[in-house]
Homo-oligomer: A and B are copies of this chain.
Amino acid sequence: MDKLTATSVFESLASGVRLDVFRLLVKQGLDGMVAGEIASTLELPPTNLSFHLKALTQARLLRVEQEGRYQRYRANIPLMLDLIAYLTEECCAGNPQQCMDLRAESCCSSDLLPPISDNSTKL
C-alpha cells in the first residue's frame, strides 16, 4: 500500500454518496449490484451516480464487470483490508499494552480485531 493509493481510497470515501455506495456494496458481497439497482436503492440521478462510481472505480475500491447492457459493481474488500493494515502500521510506539488499552476505549471493535500477540506492534 503506497501513499497515493491510500489517499485515493480515502478521497473516495470522503463523500456521503460514495460512502453509501461502498457500504451498500460491501453488504452485497460477491453478488454486487448493477448501476441501476444502486441508483434506485439510493435514490440518485443516474448521471450523478455514474460520476461517483467512476471515482470509486478509479480508486480501485470498486470492480466493474459488464453483463449484457448492465454494469455490475462489486466492492474491492481486499483493498479495504490492506488499507486498514496500512493505517495501523507500527502503531503505539511498539507498546502492545497501549494497543490493548486503546482498543478497550473503542465501542465496537472488540469482536473485530484479533488478540494481540506479545511480539506484535500492531493493533
A residues sitting closer than 8 Å to B (CB atoms) are 1, 3-4, 6-7, 10-16, 19-20, 22-23, 26-31, 77-82, 84-85, 87-93, 95, 98, 102-103, 105-109, 111-115, 120, 122-123
Contacts and interface: CB of A to CB of B under 8 A. Distances in A.
Query: Top 4 closest A-B pairs, CB basis?
Result: A29-B92, A81-B109, A81-B106, A114-B114
Given A14-B10, A114-B112, A123-B112, A102 B87 contact: no
A6 B79 CA distance: 18
A5 to B, nearest CB: 11
Contacts of A81: 102-103, 106, 109, 112-113, 123
5 contacts: A26-B89, A27-B92, A29-B93, A78-B107, A81-B106
